[in-house]
A and B are shown apart, each in its own frame.
Chain A
Amino acid sequence: MAEITVRNLHKEFGVGADKIVALDDVNLDISGHVFVSIVGASGCGKSTLLNILSGIETPSHGQVQITEDGRPAAKGYVFQAARLLPWRTVMDNLLFVQKDRSEQTRARCQRYLDMVQLGDKGRKYPGELSGGMQQRVGIARAFSTEPDVLFMDEPFSHLDAITARSLRAELQNMWQETRKTVIFVTHDVGEAVELSNRILVFAKGGHLADDIDMPLPFPRDVADPEVAVAKANVFRTFEQIGALAVS
């Protein structure tokens, strides 16, 4: 079981008058097969938190520990843009992040390509695919390493509403099927309510303002009154915090 422990996490950029505090004394415990969304206005430090958790950036001080049954956890990442190597085929893009190139690994990559409905596109170059397809490849790539923890940074924000919706449904299925821990950054409250069983709300200045449990069963229909109420509640919290941040 994946365990994420964050203690007194602090991150700042720049020095002197230009100093910006991105994260301010963040404490967190996440464990097991959960889908955690991090929401907040832009500039509240949510992407920075994700980058620190995934190891792209280092904290100014504080501790982060991510383990799977006591050993360091394997991590996967889905970015805002697909970030595929344009000079490699779709299949080679998946193989690029694997530990080995065995037949087994290839079969696994193919399975995840099938899962995002791109099973027949392995030989195509990213440039030959639409934006939504490229993002699907990015998702398949992250799942194909079979990580213990999957980090996603606003993966659907560049897509049109219809594509984003179908990808959300696919992601939901893959999460149920593979039982990963997912940390999902978004500025879209509706998306967070639809997908997650826990929502962390960040306020300006980089502090964790609220931690909301979302016990509603999956799949969630946005038209369902219970889901709509939950969404309204999160929005209310969000607005309160937004107001606090301004004062």
Chain B
Amino acid sequence: MATAVASPPTSAPPRTSEEERVRAARRRDRINAVAWRLAGYAFFLGLWEFASGRLMDERLLPGPVDVLRTFGELWASGKVPGAFADTLTRIGIGFAIAFVVGAAIGILMQNRLLNGFFRDAVTIGVTTPGLIWALITAIIFGNRPWGPLIAIVLTTFALISVNVAEGIKALPKDLIDMAKSFGVGVVRRNRQIVIPHLAPYIFTGVRFGFSIAWKVTVLTEVFSSSSGIGFEMRTASQLFRLPEFLTWILAFYVFALLLEKVVLEVIERRFFAWRDTIKS
């Protein structure tokens, strides 16, 4: 007896050559972009290596190879992770306080009178350079731990306030009315409408706030601290150890890149994937 055997469904329709070509072009484009980026690194590092010892005294401008070696030594000695831990703890505590204070002010500013009460303070907070707070707190607090914390709070709270206030002002009333007309309770409304709406505003505030907090912290450590990255930089410069000084700058870059490329991008992909759908 003959059995009719259905041919297995092909998993995907055969790709057209057109699609294949587009894909290849995209791949080429990506490779090109990476190549140019690497060429940039090679050029500037090469220039630096060339200048060191030829255009400038090696003691004044140690080359990248020298710096990299020092980086390895400092890392092995535990100095780099230790200094980072100190600095990051300061940023963590200071920024957490700034976030709570900033968000609270942003919420309170919805009230017309309280808006007047806080408005100029927030403007001053946004416009004053971090360097000024770093100097002032260094003079007032010396090397007590309060200095960097207060400098961080003063430089970053206003950024959070402004973003939170903007986000609240732009709350999607049409969606909230929709939810009300369907009898959706206030808790679910807040969780599903208000928080997702505010998330990008808060994220922007945190992102810029954090990058500023980072700079201010290192500055205050340069002026008035006995630990952390800024302190290590000051020590290295006072002892005229330029390879060490540059090592700290290198460590700084590595960390910033890591934060930008890994942490922030993961957050963005995880929570804001829906935004790409609007563009497409």
Q: Which A residues fall within an 8 A CB radius of B?
A: 54-56, 75-77, 79, 81, 83, 85-88, 96-97, 124-128, 145, 151
Contact = CB atoms under 8 A, between A and B. Distances in A.
Contact of A85 (B175, B180, B181, B279): B175
A145 to B, nearest CB: 6
Nearest to A142: B182
Contacts of B193: 85
A79 B174 contact: yes
Contacts of A125: 274, 277
A56 B180 contact: yes
A96 B130 CA distance: 44
A97 B179 contact: yes
A125 B183 CA distance: 23
Nearest to A79: B178
A88 B175 CA distance: 12
A179 B175 CA distance: 27
Interface residues of B, number: 19
Contact of A96 (B177, B192, B274, B277): B192
Nearest to B197: A87
25 contacts: A55-B181, A56-B181, A75-B181, A75-B183, A76-B182, A77-B181, A77-B182, A79-B178, A83-B174, A83-B175, A85-B192, A85-B193, A86-B274, A86-B277, A88-B196, A96-B192, A97-B179, A97-B183, A97-B184, A125-B277, A126-B277, A127-B277, A127-B278, A128-B280, A151-B181
A199 B278 CA distance: 38
B94 to A, nearest CB: 31
Nearest to A128: B277
Q: Which 9 A-B pairs have the closest CB atoms?
A: A127-B277, A127-B278, A97-B182, A125-B277, A83-B178, A77-B181, A87-B196, A87-B274, A128-B277
